Amino acid sequence: MSLITFDMELCSKCGACASECPVKIIEMAKGGPVVVAERASTCILCGHCVCVCPVSALTHEEFSPEECPMAGEAPSEQEAERIIRRRRSIRSYKKKPVEREAVERLIHIARYGPTASNAQSVGWIVVANREGVTEVSDIVISWMRKLVRWRHPASKKPYDMKLFIMAYEAGMDVICREAPALVFNYTPKASPMGLTDSAIAMTSLDIAAPSLGLGTCWAGFVMAAASHHKPLVRHLGVPAGNVLTGAMMVGYPKFGYLRMPGRKEPNIVWK
């Protein structure tokens, strides 16, 4: 089978497939769309050509119309705003463990987020038990202790790390908030867009979490430590050649939020 085939009896010759192909593998000829042979090897397997065809006349060797579910109507403006506004950073969790199937489902959803050139190179690491989360918190606190001991400027600004260390030693997990699970992602060091791809993937997981009854919170101190403290990266087993790019607390919220707070008006510069 060739890379892309066209059913010319169905094809309406609208040109959508040629227009939407990111790498211009398809172009319009007199008789309809054709594949540009010398560009075929540059296909990024995004599936745009199959999904944009209004009459299902195009089949890619990796995607048939039957394998691509119908997208349905876009959410309304009100629905989209509600999804974003109701999302909360959860810092109090039930002691209930997070099922492996639930985390797998979240990652399954998050993988559909866009990546540069459809690279899909974001990898995941899951710490799925409270003991493992505590080990991560311990390592982050050890990093903070070093910074304080060295009188590093980062130990005072923007946060006074002495206060976090004191709270932790008093029994308060101010690093991972006693979350029952942590989800990390990573990308190849050589990927110029890896950080952006990971941020999109983790944000997708974050927004999807409430659909499974889960709450999340970005683990900022964990990521700060991961950027400068090699013991944490080694502990998590980040594959060689990759860099840790995101960390998220995950668990069942102890409390529910009934209202959605406001936010400052955005600063917009029009050009």
Residue 95 DSSP label: S
User: Taking the CA of residue 126 as centre, how many other CA atoms within 13 Å lie in the half-sphere pointing to its CB?
Assistant: 18
One-letter amino acid of 243: V
Which tokens in the block code for residue 210? 């409430």
Length of the chain: 271
Whether the pLDDT of residue 210 is over 70: the answer is yes
Q: pLDDT tens digits, residue range 114-127?
A: 999 999 999 999 99
Whether the pLDDT of residue 57 is over 60: the answer is yes
Domains of the chain: 13-67 (3.30.70.20), 88-251 (3.40.109.10)
CA distance 17 to 25: 9
Residue range 237-250: average pLDDT?
Answer: 97
Comparison of pLDDT for 181 and 1, the residue scoring more: 181
* Cβ(74)–Cβ(29) below 8 Å: no
What pLDDT shows up at residue 208? 97
Q: Give the SS3 label for residue 230.
A: helix
Which tokens in the block code for residue 84? 């974003």
What pLDDT shows up at residue 49? 97
Sign of CA dihedral 162, 164, 168, 170: positive
Banded model confidence at residue 2, pLDDT cuts 50, 70, 90: confident
Burial of 36 (0-12, 13-18, 19+ CB in 10 A): middle
What pLDDT shows up at residue 45? 96
Phi/psi at 247 (5° precision): -145, 135
Rounded to whole angstroms, what are the CA distances from 70 to 51, 53, 99, 108, 196?
Answer: 8, 12, 30, 18, 28
Q: From the CB of residue 243, how many other CB atoms can be counted at a distance below 10 Å?
A: 17
Whether the pLDDT of residue 12 is over 60: the answer is yes
Of all helices (H) and strands (E), which one includes residue 223?
Answer: helix 220-228
Banded model confidence at residue 206, pLDDT cuts 50, 70, 90: very high
Residue range 73-88: average pLDDT?
Answer: 96
Angle between the N-to-C axes of helices 194-208 and 100-110, in degrees from 0 to 180, rounded to the nearest 10: 130
Average pLDDT over all residues of the chain: 96
Whether the pLDDT of residue 214 is over 60: the answer is yes
One-letter amino acid of 79: E
Residue 73 DSSP label: P
CA distance 208 to 187: 21
Whether the pLDDT of residue 135 is over 80: the answer is yes
Of all helices (H) and strands (E), which one includes residue 34?
Answer: strand 32-35
Whether the pLDDT of residue 242 is over 60: the answer is yes
Whether the pLDDT of residue 1 is over 60: the answer is no
Residue range 236-248: average pLDDT?
Answer: 97
